Amino acid sequence: MVNEELLKLLVCPMGKAPLRRDGDTLVCTACGPRFAIQDDIPNMLIEEAELPQGCHGLADLPCVKEGRARLD
């Protein structure tokens, strides 16, 4: 199980928003991508995250559209 103290330090790599745990994933509380936890290690690579419904690419994330995060 991922250490709760570690979870408090992790933020979304796109918009830097807090994350919440949902089963075996961490979910961005602002823009919604889901980051898998495998072998107790969170995979924080945005390229490997499960995007929220309706997002077909990183540019569709609310944080990118609103200018709170950049793709470069």
pLDDT in tens, 45-64: 999 999 999 999 999 999 99
Residue 13 burial by CB count (10 A; 0-12/13-18/19+): exposed, middle or buried? middle
Q: How far is CA 43 from CA 2, 25, 27, 65, in A?
A: 12, 9, 11, 24
pTM, two decimal places: 0.87
| Average confidence (pLDDT) per 10 residues, the chain, 72 residues | 80 93 95 93 94 93 89 76
Strand blocks (E) in the chain: 19-22, 25-28, 34-38, 41-42
Q: Which residue has the tokens 């928003």?
A: 17
